A = this chain, B = another copy of it.
Amino acid sequence: MTVRALYHYDEIGLLSASERTPAGHRRYTERDLRRLYRVRALRALGLSLEEIAGVLDGAADDPESMRELLTAQLRRLDEHAELIGTLRQRIRGLLRQAGDSSGPDPERLMTTLELMSVFETYFTEEQRERLAERRNALGGEGVEAARREWAGLVEEGLRLVETGVPAEDERARDLVRRWDALAGGFHPGGPDGERTRAAARRMWRDNSAEIGRSLPWPAERMAGLVSYLEQARRSG
């Protein structure tokens, strides 16, 4: 406990010495001291000074307020703990990614970071949770199989683009259908799924270069493919 904290409590009216010596020095009475003890204990539980003032001044009127405050604080702590848990998971994932290949690859790590940010820009937290649920439901091999299948679709699409097949061609439209079916496995059902699908298309359209950076194909070829597929989708 520093004297600055006491001055601060005095300033904000949370706890002031009820007496002063003629010279102006603060004299804390027994009652002040007891109030200080309560303040410190409640601070140590993570309550704000404002909340503490409220419960200490209003507790006489409403004996329930204390319990309400504590349960509310418990909820806040629970939420906070959950947040910390997800952050730990994420950081561990990043460290695994950075550490599993023999040489550390800061470029790949940075790209992953960028993609995390792009993801959070286009999907709400709720949507990201739904998507994570779907991904977990598919399991590791399911995701890996989808990735391989998708790689085949990309190769096929790049061939269509670069051999000059128009986007209105039935082959392009069929590719779009298979592409969307594959992506569909990662989206939740119902109107939520439609929303995440739309968000994903926006994300691809606005950031195909950025996303392409994490893929084995050159970013500009991916960008071309994305706009080609978009055109084919509109035409169908």
Contacts and interface: CB of A to CB of B under 8 A. Distances in A.
B66 A98 contact: yes
A40 B80 CA distance: 19
Nearest to A92: B74
A177 B64 CA distance: 44
Chain A binding surface, main DSSP class: helix
Contacts of A66: 98, 104, 106, 109
Nearest to A33: B210
Nearest to A39: B117
Interface stretch (A2-10, A11-19, A83-91, A166-174): A83-91
Interface stretch (A42-50, A151-159, A226-234): A42-50
Contacts of A77: 84, 87-88, 91
Nearest to A95: B70
Given A37-B118, A106-B66, A117-B41, A80 B84 contact: yes
Given A87-B77, A88-B78, A88-B81, A95 B113 contact: no
Interface string A51-85: 00000000100011011001101100110110011
Given A59-B110, A77-B91, 17 more contacts: A1-B121, A30-B209, A34-B114, A37-B113, A37-B114, A38-B110, A38-B114, A40-B117, A41-B113, A41-B117, A44-B117, A44-B120, A64-B104, A66-B98, A71-B95, A80-B84, A81-B88
Nearest 6 interchain pairs by C-beta: A41-B113, A37-B114, A37-B117, A40-B117, A41-B117, A41-B116
11 contacts: A34-B210, A38-B117, A44-B117, A45-B90, A63-B106, A67-B95, A67-B99, A67-B104, A74-B88, A74-B92, A84-B84
